Structure 1
């Protein structure tokens, strides 16, 4: 057991220090002060007794750790220093005992200052002798706390005075805890917990499983390094330090000091002679990793971290704080990302992997996919793949960086996948999916400027459907007939379609601005639908204007939750120590779709062939494509979006340079059903399997089609491999991680907060969160 109390002896006995002895200590320190002042020529001795930094004043940088949703699996480590503070009473005894044996064997009985050493330094100063070292643990901590650099006599004196004052104010346990959480151990690790993780993948926390806790032998290796944490940069071979994995000389240094510490452990009563004899030097120190201590942002989840930090900077708790406050604040950030879902997302959407669907593997290097999965009813982003690295381009969304600048390439014209919002607006308006529309191959719409005489020409259908020229709305949806949906958008009005998309989850849309070659972001929320509609043409109903993969996924989650929209978000909670700093607020807003409307929506979208899953789940979805310029055969953007009752996802497949998708075989026949479709299906099947949910609890309801004459049943029509009906120049993003053209220069100034998870622009009432879909009609 570790002795307790600042008057404890090494053997555990307690002996009170008489007042005379305390006075003698003070006389010694004053003599040392006088000698050093005299030797250095200083006359203002009061300088050394002014207010000095104490542990209460010390703001130690501490690394912030970002975790997956389970709160246990680390995703990334942030901060300029690798430091994780563990309270003294939560540490096991291994490091406490080893550090005392290594650095200050009289720690539990001394008064925080090596008086003899101070006097020796003073005498050397006066006589011109060599500079003196040797410090107690308290002095070493004082040196770090006051940032006392260099080996000077005045520094030595200030260190002693601070240590003396620390010893008067704090218990020995507190001081040892300060020290163990502060000193460097090499490899960028500051503090014993960071060192345990860096060198052994262990922890000093006593509440961890025994097999994961730092052992006495391992702690002795770490405490040996405190003497010289890093190699001398001027003589790395001759003075390599004590890291046993650096070279043979350093290993021998480590072994020699490990033996010294072991002997001290015996002398102090921490080990018996027999225990010491049976203790073996551990050869399990991890190799030196030149990338250790970095934020691990060179992975797909690095983009998640960017969104996490952006989201938190918009909250009341973190808004207006310095740029590095979150990174160096020692926070534990638990994200919404479920590692099982994230693994499935990366396996399917990273088309460079062998795990991706065969249809997209081995394709040209400019191919790029993005995938976002959202939990219906809560808005939690469960999986996010926007690219391979946090320092690279984000093709799934956008976020604010530390300077308030918008970053990302996540907006893409959604094409026919946007028709889900037209359809939702229609069924809300009482239009049955069995209502018939005139659907010829081409059709003029003079009110929207689409005639044979207009530059863009009339609206045309890309493929012929068996129902043409007279198709029910559900048939036109499955066949993705543009003529029908353009007419539907005119019938409903642009404002109603955009309003449905906004309330479902699409927060931003990119508009064409005259004189600007790149589309500009328009925030849809906070403005009236009529005001927003003035920025867009009727082509909005067939997906001409860019939206993000994240927003589209959130829209699908809203439909999956029975028309209950929740804010998509990345953060579940933030804590520091035992204090909860931030926690997600789960709220919902109701789209106003009644049960019959939702049932008709689900029924129609479930008939899309590309949305069929082979795992027994009810599923619904929609594909989409957008052409390159005025081409009718080459596509730049392809989509697949959809949902089950438990999971919603959107997938985009395009190119990094804005060129048309072209297969390795030279074909331009890449469509929503053949590109992103296989990615979406593989992901949905693997993710739902990994979540181990019961599909019977998430069945879709059955529509009744009231006041409607049923149409003869017909097999689901294959989704057409069509492109956009109107010429449009797609934005050409750069592959570099710079600000997207048109994003930073948006109508919304940089740094303007995105809506927090508790805000809603919808006039609908807030309802309680119900993240799951029940069996049967809702």
Structure 2
């Protein structure tokens, strides 16, 4: 070998040695022992990091979106009237969800839910990898993890959010029961069709409450969670329908596997096709008025506005769906269909408000608030800025009977007591000059209280109010349900003409109290209100005796004469007992009919509302002249009542009284007994005033509004009245009936 070859050989050897040394060094660092050590080190590092993360991350408060719910408003029969709120969710306790339906969700999403630790580490790792690689949504999360994502976190797809989800899920599983977690998951998940939570989904897909769901229906709702848009049967294509049915079968098979469903039941189960989607009821039309009235009532009962704003309430109203439809139809057919604002400017001013009440329960069964809450802001049914006019007159008589009042000459006031019905006759016993005109300035001469009520004679009731005592009249009115804070409720003789403010809601309550034999009725819109297991404490709508039964029944008896032989003849119905009173305010700015049968009380008010809410005259509405209470309001009342009762109403009042048009009249007195004083003794009565006559009275129109030319205008009368000069036994609680019994020999 030459020297050159020897040098080359030495260089090759050196290179080999160098490579061998290098390889040996690498092998020293990457032996299996070293590799195991590296893995263990990484695991310890991960565990340590996770431990630190576990300590640092706490269970946060619920996110706003998860807590947002709708308030559900229902008719008395349980059908939905409206839903309010930006999120269509109505959370329900797990106790309302049938157990088999609960199992459909567990079988669909996490069949080992009841025994797992709340997390799926393999699923989480897979989700982290997918997220890191930008592959979209993860799969394999447990029910607990999905609940945590919905309730505590957000829907964003980030590694940090998924790590938080893992930690919080472990803590929630330790702190909460499985039932709590399952209820949260079912109530926070999105089901499509705008429905969040199972109750909204049950309504959206099957038009029923969650407690009425079948297993087959529950399995569909559990299936649709995987892909709400794709699996909505009404919108799904052939592939979507195939996939959701496969998912449905998967859910049921898992239930059989877990022993939650028998094989025989599973075999006979058929897919229940969901109903077509329908729009979510909103607050348009009359529903808007009802919702606002219900809210005010709940706030008054102790439910805060913030609680209502948070949502989640199921509020069942007393409103009867059929009666509500009947009232709306009556308003349209009897008035609004006849209006033509383009032809007659006054037609655009006509507003109607009405409230109908069940006198036995106090529930508001129907309400008309106007053209619609989005078209006319003010609720005409509850507004109290218009005068009730002569619908106030029965309250004066009620006060007289309740207080055992007498006339100026000491004669007890009854239905047969005779007053001087001369128009513009100055009221006696008042320190304030007051001489109201009757309608059309008509004078009646000596006239009984019954006949004066039939024909709404202002001069008689102005005198009677002073005879009773204006403070006592006001006190009785408030006891019956009128609002002391209403505008114009000043203690003055003009009060007898009903010049204070009142609403159809208030007047319906007053007349319902009379119908309920004097037991106080405070009309109630809300039947029940609940949120989960919480229930609002609502007051009893019929509580306490406002006036004695004898006084109330006597007024009812008298008011039957208004219908049979007076200004309210438009509401007469064959075979049906009806009591009521018309009213028409000064300048014809309002017209009323408030009346009742033994089973239904309704007050209808018609108001002239001009621009910017200014009160204007109704004269000329629908092409007619003066609008009286016996006109449109009475016709609306009659059409509604006939449809609402539909043969259900009782035909006679059960009255405990011996006076008024509803009872047999006494023998006619001789004409010589008639007195020329403002009132005479009860024996000096006109026989034709005690019972309905065979023919209409001479004047069947309202007679309550003082003329504009009257020197004793109510608006000019601001001085308080003097104490009652009659010397009546006003402190006698049982009232007139007891006084009469004491006076009998």
| Residues 313 and 529, structure 2, Cα contact 8 Å, conserved in 1 | yes
2:644 is matched with which residue?
687
Q: Cα deviations across residues 230-283 of structure 1 (Å, max 9, x unaligned)? A: 5xxxxxxxxxx44343474xx633532432442464366468999989877655
Q: Which has the larger radius of gyration?
A: 2
Cα 1:272–1:449 change in 2 (3 A) is: closer
Stretches of structure 1 that go unaligned for 5 or more consecutive residues are 1-27, 231-240, 399-408, 452-457, 513-521, 523-531, 629-634, 729-761, 767-778
Answering whether residue 576 of structure 2 is matched by residue 617 of structure 1, we say: yes
Q: Who is 1:498 aligned against? A: 474
* CA distance in structure 1 between the aligned counterparts of 2:432 and 2:583, rounded to whole angstroms: 23
Separation (CA, whole Å) in 1 of partners of 2:509 and 2:250: 63
Measured after TM superposition, the shift of residue 116 of structure 1 is 2.0
Does residue 368 (structure 1) correspond to residue 351 (structure 2)? The answer is yes
Distance in 1 (alpha carbons) for counterparts of 2:119 and 2:356: 59
**For 1:336 and 1:330, how far apart are their aligned partners in 2?**
19
**Helix, strand or coil at the partner of 1:621:** strand
Instruction: Compute the displacement of 1:625 (Å).
Output: 0.9
Query: 2:671 matched to which residue of 1?
Result: none
Equivalent residue, structure 1, for 2:83: 77
CA distance in 1, matches of 2:732, 2:542: 12
Deviation per residue, 1:153-195 (Å, 9 max, x gap): 1111111122233344555555333312221112321122221
Residue of structure 2 equivalent to 1:427: 401
Aligned equivalent of 1:298 = 284
For residues 223-242 of structure 1, the aligned pairs below 5 Å read: 223-229=222-228, 241-242=230-231
Q: Distance in 1 between matches of 2:482 and 2:583?
A: 16
Pair 1:201 & 2:200 matched: no
Matches within 5 A, 1:244-283: 244-246=233-235, 248=237, 252-263=239-250, 265-266=252-253, 269=256, 283=273
Matched, 1:133 2:138: yes
- Residues 544 and 96 of structure 1: CA distance in aligned 2, closer, same or farther (over 3 Å): closer
* Structure 2, unaligned runs of 5 or more: 1-38, 342-347, 406-411, 660-664, 667-680, 710-729, 735-745
Does the CA contact (< 8 Å) of 2:585 and 2:705 recur in 1?
Answer: yes
How do 1:289-688 residues align onto structure 2 when only pairs under 5 Å count? 289=278, 291-292=279-280, 296-315=282-301, 317-318=302-303, 321=304, 323-348=305-330, 351-352=331-332, 356-357=333-334, 361-364=337-340, 366=348, 367-376=350-359, 378-391=361-374, 392-398=376-382, 409-428=383-402, 429=405, 430-444=412-426, 459-463=436-440, 468-508=444-484, 510-511=486-487, 532-533=490-491, 537-578=492-533, 580-585=535-540, 588-593=543-548, 595=550, 597-609=551-563, 610=568, 613-628=572-587, 635-657=588-610, 658-661=615-618, 666-688=623-645
Q: Label 1:436 to 1:509 Cα distance change in 2 as closer, same or farther (>3 A).
A: farther
Asked if the contact 1:69–1:336 (Cα under 8 Å) also holds between the matched residues in 2, the reply is yes
Is the partner of 2:644 in helix, strand or coil?
A: helix
Query: What aligned pairs does 1:101-112 form with structure 2 within 5 A after superposition?
Result: 102-104=108-110, 107=113, 110-112=116-118
Secondary structure of the residue aligned to 2:165 is: helix
- Judge which range, 255-264 or 276-285, deviates more: 276-285
CA contact (8 A) 1:618 1:644 kept: yes
The 1-side partners of 2:370 and 2:441 are apart by 36
- The 8 Å contact of residues 139 and 159 in structure 1, kept in 2 or not, is answered as yes
SS at match of 2:599: coil
Residue aligning to 1:234:
none
Distance 1:107 1:486, change over 3 A: closer
Does 2:232 correspond to 1:243? yes
Contact 2:585 2:591 in 1 (8 A): yes
* SS of equivalent to 2:643: helix
For the residues of structure 2 that align with 1:589 and 1:132, how far apart are their CA atoms? 63
Q: What's 1:720 paired with?
A: 701
Contact 1:63/1:82 (<8 A) preserved = yes
Task: For residue 651 of structure 1, report the CA deviation from its aligned partner.
Answer: 1.0
How far residue 506 of structure 1 moved from its aligned partner, in angstroms, is 0.6
Tell me how far apart the structure 2 counterparts of residues 564 and 268 of structure 1 sit (CA, whole Å).
Answer: 57
TM-fit CA distance, 1:136: 2.3
Give the Å deviation of 1:567: 2.8
* 2:73 aligned residue (53, 59, 66): 66
Query: Could you tell me which residue of structure 1 aligns to residue 192 of structure 2?
Result: 186
Change in CA separation of 1:461 and 1:390 when aligned onto 2, cut-off 3 Å? same
For the 8 Å contact 1:83–1:189, the answer to whether it is kept is: yes
Look up the match of 1:406.
Answer: none
Structure 1: how far apart are the matches of 2:131 and 2:622? 81
Q: Helix, strand or coil for the counterpart of 1:682?
A: helix
2:120 and 2:325 map into 1 onto residues whose CA distance is 56
Q: CA deviation at 1:415?
A: 1.8
Is the Cα contact below 8 Å between 1:592 and 1:764 reproduced in 2?
Answer: no
Distance 1:146 1:167 in 2: 14
Partner of 2:181: 175
Is the alpha carbon distance of 1:227 and 1:694 closer, same or farther for their aligned partners in structure 2, counting shifts above 3 Å? same
Which residue among 160, 165, 171 is the counterpart of 1:165? 171
Is residue 2:680 matched to residue 1:708? no
Q: CA RMSD in A?
A: 4.1
Alpha-carbon distance change, 664 to 123 in structure 1, aligned in 2, over 3 angstroms: closer
Structure 2 match to 1:519: none
Bigger Cα displacement from structure 2, 73-82 vs 615-624: 73-82
Q: CA deviation at 1:556?
A: 1.0
Whole-Å separation in 1 of the counterparts to 2:113 and 2:592: 67
Aligned to 2:59, which of 52, 64, 68?
52
In structure 2, do the counterparts of structure 1 residues 460 and 177 end up closer, same or farther at CA, with 3 Å as the change threshold? closer
Alpha-carbon deviations, 1:520-575, whole Å to 9, x = none? xx6xxxxxxxxx52xxx422211223211111111112222233323333334333
Query: CA contact under 8 A between 2:219 and 2:252: conserved in structure 1?
Result: no
CA deviation map 1:276-323 (0-9, x unaligned): 898776554423x4x42x5x32232432222222122123x42xx3x3
Equivalents in 2 of 1:677, 1:129: separation in Å? Answer: 72
**Aligned to 2:499, what secondary structure does the other structure show?**
coil
Contact 1:641 1:649 in 2 (8 A): yes
| SS class of match (1:185) | coil
Task: Give me the TM-score of the superposition, normalised by structure 1.
Answer: 0.69
Q: Secondary structure of the residue that 1:181 maps to in structure 2?
A: helix
TM-score (norm 2): 0.72
Q: Structure 2: how far apart are the matches of 1:142 and 1:253?
A: 28
Q: Which has the higher helix share?
A: 2
